Amino acid sequence: MALSGLQIFKLLPKTNCKDCGYPTCMAFAMQLAAGKVRVEACPHLPQEAGAQLSDAVSAPVSRVTVGSGASALAIGEETVLYRHEKRFEHAPGLAVLAGGSLSDVEFAERLEAFSALTFERVGEPLRPNMLAISASDGAVLEARVARAASLDAAVKAALIVMHDDPAVLRRACAPVADGRPLLYAADPTNWRDMGALARDLGAPLAVKAAGIEELIGLVEKLSGAGVEQLVLDSSPVDVRAAVRDQVFARRAAVKSRLRSLGYPTIAFACRLASDPALAAVVAGVLLCRYAGIIVLDTVDPALWLPLCVLSQNIYTDPQRPMQVEEGVYPIGEPGPDSPVLVTTNFSLTYFTVSGEVEASRVPSWLLVMNAEGQSVLTAWAAGKFVPEAIAAFIRRSGIEEKVGHRRLVIPGYVAQISGELAEELSGWDIEVGVREAVDIPRYLRSLVGSG
Ligand code: SF4
């Protein structure tokens, strides 16, 4: 069970020596309870209390790392059932399956298509970041794993290598063990050899069983054998069972602190729906329900883009809005006569507005004001995007040295502040722009056209 700050305090030495960097043991206890500091930061803990605290404050879902270097992907380390309680820590691995039914030519084409699957949204690169490789023939598997491991580092693909025979998996993975591939998978028939392989290679191991109950037994055997980097697969037969198992595992780990289900999971959406589009929908459902790795048998960008965006949306920290730096952003090559627009520094607002200004082909100055990453209406309602603050920002931004005119376009959603802003920002004319970003190109062209 997670401990409160007071419960943690009772286990501390209470000397207030400050060696942890905090002024009192109570301050340290509060930070520890909030997960902002590690137990080891107090060097004076008796061994028993240290072990008790480590156990109490560790994440109920263990952190597992697949891949290494630029391809390293951390999953798990989750602490909550619902994002609004705190945040979800690590976005799931998104894996493209390169299955054994592919010919050599098709495999090469799949790698090429996988490498090209890159998107960008609100300034962040998005892409599937894992490759799941299977082949029943050991020699084929070896060759394909080697080929995938030699992909350009910029592609950042952590590998999942799939075979039921530990000896075949060893031959395929030993040459690339430094890359920490996920070994798939230990099952009730091979778990001893698979566990030994995972220990020898220092690689994470997937555990596959027919349902949660069998999975728990297998995990206990493997963790008893010293294998701790595990990823769980309950082998659900349909979507309903998949969602049920995902929720059960997370709830048991977080609420009941059941260690044997406290590992990230892997979900083969492509096994639950044969149609790629339907499988992508299933993947979206599982992404919302705790899957640690999601596997799809497609390289269709139209299916991966929405999944990448969904993952980005769910796995941002709700307590930290995504934001861009305050400043004057020239779009196109604006000059002294170019329009001047102001907005807030919420990333989505900035990228949407700047994209539409760019699309208008009207060179413009976009003034992005720090509103703590809030959107225009939210910032206005919170008193952060209000006339006095906007006027102060315009004065300090330096835009008055860049343009010869004094016309400022404000977002249409805050039309009500135009009068007051005109008073605060003497010498400037305030023009009310459009409410929706999509109307910006038409608006800017009419503005320039009307001179
Ligand atoms: Fe208390 Fe330990 Fe911090 Fe010293 S180092 S103030 S004993 S928590």
Residue 159 pairs in a beta bridge with 131
With a 6 Å cutoff on the Cβ, whether 25 touches ligand 1 is yes
> Ligand 1: distance of its center to the CA of 25 in Å?
5
Distance 46 CA to ligand 1 centre (A): 12
Residue type (1 letter), 307: L
* Ligand 1 pocket member 18 (CB < 6 A): yes
Q: Report whether residue 40 contacts ligand 1, using a CB cutoff of 6 Å.
A: no
Q: Is 423 exposed, middle or buried (0-12, 13-18, 19+ CB in 10 A)?
A: exposed
pLDDT in tens, 358-383: 999 999 999 999 999 999 999 999 99
Average pLDDT, integer, range 72-79:
95
How far from chain centre, in Å, is Cα 386? 33
pLDDT at position 449: 77
Q: pLDDT tens for residues 24-36? A: 999 999 998 877 8
The answer to whether residue 451 scores a pLDDT higher than 60 is no
431 pLDDT tier (thresholds 50, 70, 90): very high
Q: Which pLDDT value is given to residue 238?
A: 97
State yes or no: cis peptide before 2, omega within 30 of 0. no
Residue type, 204: P
Q: pLDDT-based confidence at 169, cuts 50/70/90?
A: very high
Q: What percent of the chain has pLDDT over 70?
A: 99
Q: Does an H or E element contain 63, and which?
A: strand 63-66
Residue 43 alpha carbon, nearest atom of ligand 1: 5
Query: Which CATH architecture does the domain made up of 63-315 adopt?
Result: Alpha-Beta Barrel (3.20)
Closest CA to 367 of 332, 328, 339: 328
pLDDT tens for 37-52 read 889 899 999 888 888 8
pLDDT at 318 over 70: yes
What pLDDT score does 171 carry? 97
44 lines ligand 1 (CB under 6 A): yes
Q: Ligand 1 centroid to 48 CA: how many Å?
A: 16
Residue 2 is predicted with a pLDDT of 66
Distance (Å) of CA 146 to CA 143, 164, 176, 362: 5, 19, 7, 50
The whole-number pLDDT of residue 450 equals 54
Q: Which two tokens stand for residue 169?
A: 């998996």
Ligand 1 pocket, residue 52 CB under 6 Å: no
Say if 63-315 and 327-450 have the same CATH topology: no
- Mean pLDDT over residues 410-431, rounded? 96
The answer to whether the CB of 20 is under 6 A from ligand 1 is yes
- 218 neighbors 227 (Cβ within 8 angstroms): no
CATH class of 5-57: mainly alpha
**pLDDT tens-digit readout, 93-117:** 999 999 999 999 999 999 999 999 9
DSSP annotation string for 108-131? HHHHHHHHT--EEETTEEE---EE
Structure tokens at 342: 């102001």
Query: How many secondary structure helices (H) and strands (E) does the chain include?
Result: 18, 17
Q: Give CA–CA dist 204/266, Å, rounded.
A: 12
- List for the chain the helix, strand, coil content (%; round to 5): 45, 15, 35
With a cut of 90, say whether residue 309 has pLDDT above it. yes
H or E element that contains 94: strand 93-98
pLDDT given for residue 48 in this prediction: 87
**Top mutation candidate among 44, 45, 53, 57 for ligand 1, by most atoms within 8 Å of CB:** 44
User: Are the C-beta atoms of 78 and 60 separated by less than 8 Å?
Assistant: yes
Q: Is the CB of 72 under 6 A from ligand 1?
A: no
- Residue 323 DSSP class: B
pLDDT at 188 over 60: yes
Residue 389 has pLDDT above 70, yes or no: yes
Q: Does ligand 1 lie within 6 Å of residue 232's CB atom?
A: no
Task: Tell me the fold of 327-450.
Answer: Rossmann fold (3.40.50)
Res 86 pLDDT > 90:
no
Q: Mean pLDDT in the chain?
A: 94
pLDDT digits (tens, 9 = 90+) for 114-158: 999 999 988 889 999 999 999 999 999 999 999 999 998 788 799
Cβ–ligand 1 distance for 280 under 6 Å, the answer no
Burial of 120 (0-12, 13-18, 19+ CB in 10 A): exposed
- Tell me which amino acid residue 192 is: R
Domain ranges of the chain: 5-57, 63-315, 327-450
CA distance 176 to 165: 17
Greatest mean pLDDT range, 57-71, 151-165, 330-344 = 330-344
In the predicted model, what is the mean pLDDT of residues 414-431? Answer: 96
Please state, in angstroms and rounded to a whole number, the distance separating the CA atoms of residues 434 and 415.
9
| Confidence (pLDDT) at 247 | 98
Q: Is the pLDDT of residue 1 over 60?
A: no
Percent of the chain with pLDDT over 90: 86
- Give the model's pLDDT for residue 37: 87
